[in-house]
Structure 1
């Protein structure tokens, strides 16, 4: 299994986005029972913490112990180091399965089998991700070039599933629905550059070359950005289905 986020776990916890309330409203509207939820590839637990406000218990799994070490403790969340495809969860026990910005790293067939094993009848499965950040016209070409040209050799092929919104990843569930959301934040140039340092491609580049590739664009981006905070936008795509 690929673990691309342990090395930058602290940066990830601080500089990655969380998800809008509208996304959770959508999930809950399509989940009849509020017994147990499974947040798969929970990372630093940001989704698990929200689900814990609505479910009796949340199982939150991830392959990265370093990521889980960043997760907030809640009495009704159990964090466990576990691959997505083989978990310690009991059969037919889960009412909701969530995967945020991670299903493209899985063995899809094995994961879907595990989902069917652990879910109750009529359980909900929701998978989502977010595309390339958008800032302003003067900055977007620089960001796109860094993403698709400078970093291209360092992205795993899995990453390109994000660009086509999981269209090539099987989703063999019933009553499938799709939804779009938008995350908007006000960030300084420094914050944005640290967000770039959470990219798996950036970490891979640094391991291979011993240099931080963000510095290749840091000066130009900072000059274009200015001293003020700017709005950054992340388009979020989601698909949801029922386990028959």
Structure 2
């Protein structure tokens, strides 16, 4: 059974503000799709679309883009922030997509498929995809690295401390490695034309505060906060102060580089 996540409005708003937008990944998806067809693409479906930050990036390439999610709070945020006339949203489970068979050019899920009932979702994606339609599943690891001049090594030791503190609160369904979940889906996909990349490094300029804000959107941090809000706040404050001390700065709005490691699978239906 798929899991329901990101239902609380405060969590959804923080997710929209702090989570990484996958611009580079959209270009890779389109590069994979284009060599085998010159026709204009009709329909893309972004499953588990959340706040729609990735969904709207598909708009220039398709006549119609539909984002689907089970969370009303996420869809409300997506609709409020969508300015694209060819993008719409539907509430439904990932395993029960409201499309006819062989109708969809692209089924994608960005940082979401690990929450699905994966065998059922893959069967459903296969049902709705056209011949030569593509499946694109991507996510990133939750152990971002930080870079700031000579302080880089110290910053990542502090990050390791943070990730270790959150590890006991990790959802058991994610197992020891989220990338393994996606590689297992890649291995189980029977389409002969497929591609796997286990480590694509993407850099983002963030502030100390926005890095902490992103970590606070993790489901592990949210679980800690529900169990002990004071301890969660103490952890955030302690890590923020340690990062600033290592950087020798006084403002949490100081910018640094965050390195995100994406992994993805692309596959084309015969």
TM-score of the aligned structures, taking structure 1 as reference length: 0.91
Q: Distance in 1 between matches of 2:191 and 2:170?
A: 29
Query: In 2, are the aligned partners of 1:205 and 1:211 still within 8 Å (CA)?
Result: no
SS of 2:184's partner is coil
Residue equivalent to 1:172? 190
Shift of the alpha carbon at 1:157?
2.3
Residue equivalent to 1:19? 22
Q: Distance in 1 between matches of 2:5 and 2:220?
A: 9
SS of 1:45's partner is coil
Matching residue within 148, 155, 166 for 1:151? 166
Residue equivalent to 2:256? 230
Residue equivalent to 1:183? 202
Deviations 1:215-240 (A, max 9, x none): 32333233224343111110111110
Q: Distance in 2 between matches of 1:82 and 1:211?
A: 36
Q: Does 1:219 align with 2:241?
A: yes
Deviations 1:38-93 (A, max 9, x none): 11111111121011111000111011111122213222112011111012122211
Q: Distance in 2 between matches of 1:112 and 1:163?
A: 17
Number of residue pairs the alignment of both structures matches: 242
Shift of the alpha carbon at 1:4?
2.6
Deviations 1:14-57 (A, max 9, x none): 10011133x22221122235110111111111121011111000
SS of 2:60's partner is coil
- What 5-or-longer segments of structure 2 have no aligned partner? 147-151
- What 5-or-longer segments of structure 1 have no aligned partner? none
Deviations 1:119-169 (A, max 9, x none): 11121111111122111211112212321x211221112334425472333
Structure 1 residue runs of 4 or more that deviate by more than 4 Å after TM superposition: none
Deviations 1:90-122 (A, max 9, x none): 221100111111111111110011111111112
Q: Distance in 1 between matches of 2:95 and 2:233?
A: 34
Choose 1 or 2 for highest CA Rg: 2
Higher helix share: 2
Q: Does 1:239 align with 2:265?
A: yes
Shift of the alpha carbon at 1:212?
5.5
Residue equivalent to 1:142? 158
Alignment of structure 1 residues 1-244 onto 2, 5 Å: 1-7=2-8, 8-21=11-24, 23-31=25-33, 32=37, 33=39, 34-71=41-78, 72-73=81-82, 74-131=84-141, 132-135=143-146, 136-147=152-163, 149-159=164-174, 160-164=176-180, 166-169=182-185, 170-179=188-197, 180-211=199-230, 213-216=232-235, 217-225=239-247, 226=249, 227=251, 228-244=254-270
TM-score of the aligned structures, taking structure 2 as reference length: 0.83
